[in-house]
A and B are shown apart, each in its own frame.
Chain A
């Protein structure tokens, strides 16, 4: 049966023709290239390079950025792209999020003209892959206290430290690395081949298996002076990137949830037990109805947020709400879907457990669920509850 995306409140009617065509282009690509191959990619633990080429050719990398060869699409279109990619697999969407929102975006917003002209055109085609180095082994939710540091050595910068949990790291041609220069967080572009830079792959993952996750290790890493991003200082830099990625994730989670819902519904209609399809049992219907309810709410959150992104009236806390809510319900939906599939749900014949495992990572990265809760708590009360400090 061909995939039918749940769209109970007809978000489709709110889209422009262009947005619909972009969504359909990605949807068809996921059907043709990702769905038939994702289980094997997952078993083998690889991100097929062919997908990088296809994503580049479709022209969707760095979707909402304009100029320098970038697509210049609306944020709604960017959201739809993430939704369709993640319907395939969170790892595929992570590749695109990292490339577009975390590697291309900081160069686009904070880089010099030379840097933009040099990096962006090759990144939007997928020829060069980027990654984003913020998180460290001991600094995740608290990036402000990072210990990776840069020293100004006159004719170059010297980088020391390590980053961890970096998507695309091992295969990336460049990394946008956040490090403290004289105690102030700055962004630096590190290229593969820079002396003192290595990016070993992290193995043994139960989640995001069809995605490359790496460490970035800087041991007296020498980078030329022209690699610092001139136009941003402090956490504002990385947080701006994260806001964009989180926005995309709020749509992506909808895609994963839609995939799980679709599979659960189809399974429930075909699985006969006690002479009836399990879709006829009240407890199963209750679960499916809950899924429909949450997916519909999540879609409306994501769509409205996209409109605010497009007209510039958004605030970061609105993005926190959408990311947190949509990923949370997507994970619950994946679990519930697995339950509906019974024992079959643990096989990779069905996508549900893969989505479930992936969403554990998605719930953790780009700001954990708890952190986003506290961001909202601070917004509501004016009092920060992240730390014990006054």
Chain B
């Protein structure tokens, strides 16, 4: 289809709003495009030292000899930091007052028993990086290599090596019951134990199928056996998804220095407010003694949700050397410490009725966790698959296995993406075998409205707040001309083309955070934002709600962000696509609080009742005409009135963090602050239907994606341009998983050997179609005041799934058994006439 038939999105959003649904330049845009924006690395402080890290050459080992005397004797070397200099890990306390005990087996910033190749062992601070590097080379260090495993199946084998001295899986002791009336007890600290499968389990590998050994966790809903009995088609497939680094362009570079007993940390993080707690825990310090500066963050994708533990290295070195310390992280170091999505080795047995409806789904996944704290991907994969495909009966079994590979972290649609991708290839195969249309088979299994999700917990099953995925498929089929495309000839010359479609969804928002702003006597609205500036633009987008509700021009609003000394409100983690949903709610609550206060002030000053007043056009005025006052006047009155109006009496229910900020802001104008207490029936998810066409050259195996469309169900569209960036950007992340991004390990030494971008192969702009398309349904979610949900994550699984499905449409089902699919896979499978890929081994 030529580009002329295939126009960019012409949709108009926000018909009933002034600001919501409209494009605008975000206040940080100019700084970003001109280079004026200051990322952590751009700061310079007088007397600043530089630090470099000594990384582990072994996948697992112990330092058996360390002599730093030659390094410390070098001129310019100021301090060396080792594990011994780290504070003991601190316990943390949740919002509910529950103490979470620190885990002695958790990740440390530096360690003498490295658990992966590239793990930081020690750090040297010197007058410049050259000296620091020379000093590291002068350090006499010897490691005792210990057994290691980079592939989960290796350690699960009987007699297989354990990645940690204690074993290969986290064991979570059962939670003690809370006594009525008392606060919930601390959950017991997980420990590392051993899980081995039997030789009999591993017999499955001979047939290229994943062994179904004892799983760590499982749940069942419905009658699985009955479901399979009813099925007209049962497929049992094994599939491997890749481990992919987040590859944020800004590495974990950090600057730290101490002033008057406070530590100042400049770093890139996704969440401003929520990172403070992490730093406090890692440094074992009171949060009040920490100032975090993070105005700009060069990408997170989940990897910097609440910062990163390595930020404490320059902080502690700075204390030791009594000088500011800059830790610049190289791309190679970032590869080791920068987190990654865990790869899955998965197996699914799925029963389909004749019409394509999934009658039973037996899901089994292994999550390659890396050596430290468990990621939630395995669990989430089950939840998401249960929602997205609405199987009549489902069993999920999952095991999160420790390996000596760089630690994983959440990456856009953690777990959801892996589960969806494994499922999508099976649904495609089923449609071909049942003679069904690919869109139809997805539509018939779509979640709708308050759709059930996940396992039964405490006697009830959760459900979604809303789901309009069917509508997304309908819109997408039409816009993509699905029927037309599927009817065309497939082969011409050496080229074969195929079309694919994929469902996807992921969590889309949390609740319960605070909004805070001040209407100042100069007429400007000072909005305090605890949202991180991670590039999604939600930092500004969510606060447009304040201006919308108050009827104030956006140009009159000043958003303060990126520095925890600047009196910010309690804010959600900018991760898990929570922000748009959570913080539009908080902004809405604060705006309503502001509006009420304006009405009350007007009534107090001008007489009448508050409800007789209206707010709009930068004024508060009597309904139907009459007296009123400007917002600057109202702000003056608020200061005179004091109490709750100017922040002297903060709302009872806001977080203590917000209260501290209110205390600092009091008396500056009309202070609006509120906690989001809007009701919500269900859990918030967003959905997307993705369509793709590929063209494969069967002589080289090379393929190109010629067209792509994603139609999103994200509730109310808040900011079309940022939404487009999210939908297409995250689609590209997903496409990367389909076309090439991965990790490669040498299994003999347990080393990462894919250390460069040209090894890990994140997709480039030329790997995606020039004319990628998107659309959004713009149907408000009924369970949130603005109706907006988050969208960061769902397109990842959809992007990957659509490409894989287009490939199997072009080439058939006998080509690949894992993602990514490169030309080598295609060519060898075509040559052999059967799938040639190893469907079990990780990291190849």
**Bound pair (A, B):** no
